[in-house]
Structure 1
Amino acid sequence: MNKTSFRVMFPEAGRAELQSFPMPEIVKPTDIIIETEYSIVSAGTELACRAGIEGWAPLPHCPGYGSVGRVIAHGPEAKNVSIGQRVLTFGKHAKHTYTDHMAVPVPEGLDPVKAVFARMAAISIAASRVSEAELGDFVAVIGLGLVGNLSAQLFGLAGCEVIAIDPSPRRREQAKACGIPHVLAGGSDLKEQVAAITGGRMCAAVIEATGLSAVALDSAPKVAGVQSEIVLLGSPRAPYTAEVTAFLSGIHLALGAAAVKGALEWRFPTLAHPQGLYKHSIENNIQQLLRLLSRNKLSIDPLLTHLASPADCHAVYEGLATQKEVYTGAVFDWSKV
């Protein structure tokens, strides 16, 4: 076996490059080594890591946490995997990666490029899991990057009437192409636009998928109905100073949103319980999302904007940071290195 592999690295703030590194080896009996076919960029998290502002990812750092590939080796105690099997794992951007627990089989016939989007949808599905929105409810999703778009699609699959909101013309067109019924640009008359769609009822749930505190505090309450909920799907990072008394008063009096909920995917256990003692887990979410993708229930083609060589990683991250009208879904093709 080749002793050298390749991975994307952030050697310093603002830079990405492809570097060689020693091939991973079997250390524990549960280890699984995977030759990566495709890995997907999680733009918000990875751009924050590249900027050096994520405390858990000090530079230099190898980014990435979602990939699809083939099992090439495993320890004697690795469960439910076989050599040559295609799996989705929470792998970094590397030609070879390893895991000792999360290797979810990809259904036969599912395009691996589409399969890797299940990793981003696993972030999105957390909003569906924590929300109380039901069949027929109006749900607004603010922010139509990968996570927001896929969240809107998932609420639509649950029978909700989805209103997708984003100032970007490109992302609104992508949302329409994905079958989302109501797509708005926002603006000063956003409340009136949503009132017209909902007959004045406004939304039972508002999904904040931008990670911008201003959106959560200012925009989301405008479209929230009485006794509704605001779900924080995006991760807030940038400092924001604001007067919050009106926001808190609205929650207290239940004149609009009566609850604000967090929807970080890691609120759920990682692995499914073998006896089903808890309903939801990240592993179970991935399995369900892969099934939806294999049945063409989630639209991916409009979201894949860049299938790139890992050697072009610096240009990809620059594009995601500075050309949001051009870059949405970026996937590295590891057959190109």
Structure 2
Amino acid sequence: MKQVVQNYKSGELALLDVPVPGCKPGGVLVRSAYSLISTGTELMKVSEAGMSMLGKARSRPDQVAKVMQSVAVNGVPATYRKVMGKLDSYTPLGYSLCGVVEQVGTGIDDVKAGDLVACAGNEHALHAELNWVPRNLYAPVPDGLAPRHAAFGTVGAIAMQGVRQGEPQLGEVALVIGLGLIGQLVAQLLTASGVRVVGADPDPARCELAVGLGAAACGDPASTAVENAVAELTGGHGVDQVYLAAGGGSNQPVELAARLCRDRGRVVDIGKCRLDLPWNAYYEKELDVRFSRSYGPGRYDPEYELEGRDYPIGYVRWTERRNLACFLDLAARGRVDVEPLISHIAGFDDAVETYRSLKDGDLKAVAVLFRYPGQRAEETGTPAPPTVAVPAVRRGSSGGGRARGADAPVRVAFVGAGNYATSMLLPQLARRDGVALSTVVTTTALSAANARRKFGFAHATTDLDAVLGDKSVDAVFVVTRHSSHAELTRKALLAGKAVFVEKPLALTGDELAGVLAAVEESGNDRLQVGFNRRFAPLLREAKGKFGARTGPASLRYLVNAGRLQHGSWYLRQDSEGSRFTGEGGHFVDTASWLLDADPVSVYATGTPGTDGGGDVQVVLRYPDGATATISYVTTGAAGFPKETLDLVADGKVLRLDDFVRASVHGPERWVSSRLPKARDKGQSAEL
């Protein structure tokens, strides 16, 4: 299928052939009829991509701060690879569309194949022929509402959430600053609520459009027309609410809001404009400044958006899905009219040229729609299903691997292509002789296409079963989120593949039992878990310098894991396990390798905390009486090294400082040189 993508490093726009996404449980596969270009948000992203690296950094200081933190923890080379990997990848565009349900995932009972739905989300309602959309990010389209109008659902929900934040009441007067797509919809929603609207925008055509759709008056904010209209409509008191729907670097909208708002009025920020609040003006009027977060409650909450957990209506009346459905209802009943906002409808095959025309200013538009194959130019009902070509994937019967000659390369498939796979594993394998990267499998179409482009995979797909059934594939790498490791490993073993699975192998005893049962059933025990630290060159050299032990040892391992960003999938303890469950195996394995034995007993305790259980202290005892204490902490200083280790025995001490420097103190002292390039934690030697 085709999808609109952009390379954020080069600015390149492309209509890319990507694999068809799979239909996962808890959502639906939707064939697009119309998708809407957000002429504000998307064009800002397109413009940023065309900037120099310095310009990108200036436009996103929040991302620069993250990069600097990563440098402190991981070093410059590793951070550089990670950042360049992200920048030099295709990213999706789009977040508002209407389409026909192609396939229904398990657990979905409110729509069926053939139903028309409006979809939301910058990861799910993309400019692509097919999208997988989770339950809370789609809503059925009411009868009689044209698909091209239903494609406005997401931006309509954004405007509606902004209006809700303003708490308008009948008879009030509101000022809308910025009459682009969101501003026009805000003005219409306010008018439908019995509020008189004054609009401010330097574009006369947009002012005229807003007046034609119900605004009481509109004008250039630099002129006196807006101030005069506000004075006349409010008796000189000022407006009850101001909605900031403008973008750009000017502080004029914020200053105009303070000047024209009444005492104790409300200012709602919907767009992304400069917000240097003039303190005196806002203080003297005691203005209430509010922010409107996207489509409504549920936005950025993975449990709501991805897992389909709705908020009880008695506690949260208007969620993002209910806002979406409400806007569609208003449009279907004619209370909101989006047809006059449509400046241009482009065929999907012309997507790249359409973006260029918008960016260069050749196409002046409030709203632009992409029409997908199979849509008639003037349709008003449910679109006829087009034929979408699904890329062929080589299939074979499940079972053992093919007979391979001694000189034939090992054919490798990757399941998952996230940050770790693309920054730590694939760069090593892509340049290794005797390895052929056969197929990459991901749940999202674009990540598979990116991995294929960057690392030279022969095939990219979202169909795992087809890969496991391909006899030409020798080995499967499982590099996905923790909760899927055990099941994917089990399937790959039963298919007769050699398997590398990134830690952890399993999250529960039952999951581990399933893997062991697969080994027993298939007779295939070619399984490696990704414990790479025992392969780190610096640690191996230090162990050699320490020499053989004659007495018991004491080992202390401090892991300064640090806090995670809000929303990180690592914090989804119910589904992904605690942080120590996911990462702690690294440190148990490293300690056991250094002590040349497996532990015979364990004691662990933890402190309360929100980061997957807080700090964890683990004491391991070994057959010869040696002990290892692992302190896994999330409450330490960000600037302190992540991993420090001390091994004490026989009058000697081995010290490892975060894979940058190591030393051995004893009868003879050895100190490594500081590594000139990067921390090598053993991935290359492990592979």
Asked if these proteins are the same fold (TM beyond 0.5), I'd say yes
The residue aligned with 1:120 is 155
Q: CA deviation at 1:274?
A: 5.2
The residue aligned with 2:252 is 215
Contact 1:269 1:280 survives alignment (8 Å): no
In structure 2, distance between residues paired with 1:222 and 1:319: 37
Which consecutive unaligned segments of at least 5 residues does structure 1 have? none
Q: CA deviation at 1:201?
A: 1.6
In structure 1, distance between residues paired with 2:291 and 2:360: 28
> Which residue of 236, 261, 284 maps to 2:290?
261
Whichever residue aligns with residue 249 of structure 1, its letter is N
Give yes or no for the alignment of 1:75 onto 2:105: yes
| Secondary structure in 1 matching 2:263 | strand
> Which residue of 10, 17, 20 maps to 2:17?
20
Q: CA deviation at 1:156?
A: 0.8
Give yes or no for the alignment of 1:129 onto 2:160: no
Larger deviation, residues 258-267 vs 111-120: 258-267
Contact 1:171 1:325 survives alignment (8 Å): no
In structure 2, distance between residues paired with 1:228 and 1:325: 37
In structure 1, distance between residues paired with 2:352 and 2:208: 27
| Secondary structure in 1 matching 2:29 | strand
Contact 2:173 2:233 survives alignment (8 Å): no
Q: CA deviation at 1:143?
A: 0.6
The residue aligned with 2:586 is none
> Which residue of 228, 249, 255 maps to 2:280?
249
| Secondary structure in 2 matching 1:8 | strand
In structure 2, distance between residues paired with 1:207 and 1:275: 26
Contact 1:16 1:313 survives alignment (8 Å): no
Larger deviation, residues 306-315 vs 266-275: 266-275
Contact 2:296 2:318 survives alignment (8 Å): no
Q: CA deviation at 1:158?
A: 0.9
In structure 2, distance between residues paired with 1:228 and 1:182: 20
In structure 2, distance between residues paired with 1:168 and 1:76: 49
Superposed CA deviations along residues 92-138 of structure 1, whole A, max 9, x for unmatched, are: 00001111222210011110001111211111112211113211111
In structure 1, distance between residues paired with 2:11 and 2:340: 28
Larger deviation, residues 214-223 vs 112-121: 214-223
Q: CA deviation at 1:193?
A: 4.1
The residue aligned with 2:425 is none
Give yes or no for the alignment of 1:142 onto 2:139: no
Distance 1:268 1:10, change over 3 A: same
In structure 2, distance between residues paired with 1:29 and 1:115: 25
Distance 1:283 1:324, change over 3 A: farther
Contact 1:320 1:328 survives alignment (8 Å): no
Contact 2:346 2:369 survives alignment (8 Å): yes
In structure 2, distance between residues paired with 1:163 and 1:321: 29
In structure 2, distance between residues paired with 1:25 and 1:267: 27
The residue aligned with 2:2 is 6
Superposed CA deviations along residues 257-299 of structure 1, whole A, max 9, x for unmatched, are: 6111111225512565355432110000011111101101111
Larger deviation, residues 211-220 vs 306-315: 211-220
Whichever residue aligns with residue 207 of structure 1, its letter is Y
Distance 1:136 1:9, change over 3 A: same
Give yes or no for the alignment of 1:165 onto 2:200: yes
In structure 2, distance between residues paired with 1:96 and 1:222: 48
Q: Which has the larger radius of gyration?
A: 2
Distance 1:328 1:131, change over 3 A: same
In structure 2, distance between residues paired with 1:17 and 1:309: 15
> Which residue of 364, 368, 384 maps to 1:330?
368
> Which residue of 45, 61, 83 maps to 2:91?
61
Distance 1:113 1:267, change over 3 A: closer
Superposed CA deviations along residues 146-189 of structure 1, whole A, max 9, x for unmatched, are: 10000011111111111011110111121122122212222242
In structure 1, distance between residues paired with 2:4 and 2:281: 46
In structure 1, distance between residues paired with 2:270 and 2:252: 12
What's the Cα RMSD here? 2.4
Q: CA deviation at 1:215?
A: 3.1
In structure 2, distance between residues paired with 1:173 and 1:316: 25
Contact 1:319 1:327 survives alignment (8 Å): no
Superposed CA deviations along residues 216-249 of structure 1, whole A, max 9, x for unmatched, are: 332222211111111111023x7x8x6x5xx212
The residue aligned with 1:49 is 45
Whichever residue aligns with residue 34 of structure 1, its letter is V
In structure 1, distance between residues paired with 2:371 and 2:331: 19
Which consecutive unaligned segments of at least 5 residues does structure 2 have? 50-55, 67-85, 305-309, 375-387, 389-687
The residue aligned with 2:132 is 98
Q: CA deviation at 1:18?
A: 1.0
Superposed CA deviations along residues 309-337 of structure 1, whole A, max 9, x for unmatched, are: 12222332233334388211011101269
TM-score, normalised to structure 2's length? Answer: 0.45
The residue aligned with 2:519 is none
| Secondary structure in 1 matching 2:315 | coil
Contact 2:296 2:320 survives alignment (8 Å): no
Give yes or no for the alignment of 1:203 onto 2:239: yes
Distance 1:324 1:217, change over 3 A: farther
Q: CA deviation at 1:48?
A: 2.5
Identity among equivalent pairs (%): 27
| Secondary structure in 2 matching 1:311 | helix
Contact 1:15 1:314 survives alignment (8 Å): no
In structure 2, distance between residues paired with 1:266 and 1:290: 13
